[in-house]
Structure 1
Amino acid sequence: MAPVTTRGPKLYVFSHSSSLIYIGQTVQGMSARMRLGFKADGTGGYWGYRWRKELAEASLHIWVLNECPEEEEFYALECIESEVVYLYRSEFNQWPKFQTEIHFHESEGNHRALAREIFNGFNK
């Protein structure tokens, strides 16, 4: 169901046993993004979701920013993504186990607050 199935910025988290294992940001519909992540074979240097070969299952959680101007949404979600990874690193002294890349941007208080809400939903 839109906006998850349609093209547009979204943030997604894979978790396993209630622990965050990977966070990403995409503008693709989630079915296209997941297909790419599960079928990647190293072409172009992308190997897909690392956890797919080690875990039998994972839960998917998706967020969009409804009240953010469209031209700012991608940047805002990348800020939130990196802040969630930073919180994880700060809390556990390690990066999320299957995180393969992250893009850092200067964030604002609202990005950090939303990241804290997302982070607090995992790793309890």
Structure 2
Amino acid sequence: MTESLNIEKFSLSYKPTKSGEVSFHLKAINSKKNEALKYPNRLLYIVLNDNTFLYVGEAKAALKTRFQRSFGSYRHFIRVGKARGGYKGYKWIELLDPKKNTPKELKVWAVLFPASYNSYRDRIEAIEGELVWEIRKRTKHWPTFQNEIHFNNDYKDANRIANKILNEIK
């Protein structure tokens, strides 16, 4: 991957619902295109609270769709006390709960990969793994809510790309 990175920055904030449940609003900060919100190809996303890394994820879905799925699962878990299909949503969502004394806004960086990467999930996961590892090396902490990472030693560009991403967002 030698082309320039397409990175968009968003503000993720609590959006009140009639029932008082946790919902979200994504607002572009550095892009007028908002491509990540409807992007059909593979992407990585990095969630931060101030300068604290919370989570690094990978998806082959629009950023908005990916977050809608997780927020829906989180609301379901809060309402009924059971995971939906074994999934409770992102643990970091609780930071947006208006009933708690927590930040009301998080930052999300989305790294959009070209369609040519759609059939190379292992490469994106390798970049994700290297990105999480680089965060650990630089900050001395894993992202707060990171539960797993994938490494792939077969994709030699993963570390270089991860460093390039981290240098652009920090």
Structures share a fold, TM > 0.5? yes
Deviates more, 1:74-83 or 1:108-117: 108-117
Asked if the contact 1:15/1:59 (under 8 Å) is kept, the reply is: yes
Q: What does residue 113 of structure 1 align with?
A: 160
d(CA) in 2 for partners of 1:69, 1:118: 16
Q: What does residue 52 of structure 1 align with?
A: 93
Greater strand proportion: 2
1:12 equivalent in alignment to 2:45: yes
Over the aligned positions, Cα root-mean-square deviation in angstroms equals 2.3
Greater helix proportion: 1
Map residues 13-28 of structure 1 onto 2, 5 A cutoff.
13-28=46-61
Q: Which has the larger radius of gyration?
A: 2
Partner SS state of residue 43, structure 1: coil
For structure 1, the residue ranges without an aligned partner over 5 or more in a row are none
d(CA) in 2 for partners of 1:69, 1:53: 32
Q: Which amino acid in structure 2 is aligned with residue 91 of structure 1?
A: R
d(CA) in 1 for partners of 2:154, 2:167: 18
Map residues 40-119 of structure 1 onto 2, 5 A cutoff.
40=73, 41=77, 42-54=83-95, 55-66=103-114, 68-72=116-120, 74-119=121-166
What TM-score comes out, normalization by structure 2 length? 0.61
Partner SS state of residue 38, structure 2: coil
Q: What does residue 69 of structure 2 align with?
A: 36
d(CA) in 1 for partners of 2:160, 2:131: 10
Asked if the contact 2:129/2:150 (under 8 Å) is kept, the reply is: yes
Deviation per CA, 1:32-57: give whole Å up to 9, x if none. 10011212122222121111112422
Partner SS state of residue 44, structure 1: coil
Partner SS state of residue 99, structure 1: coil
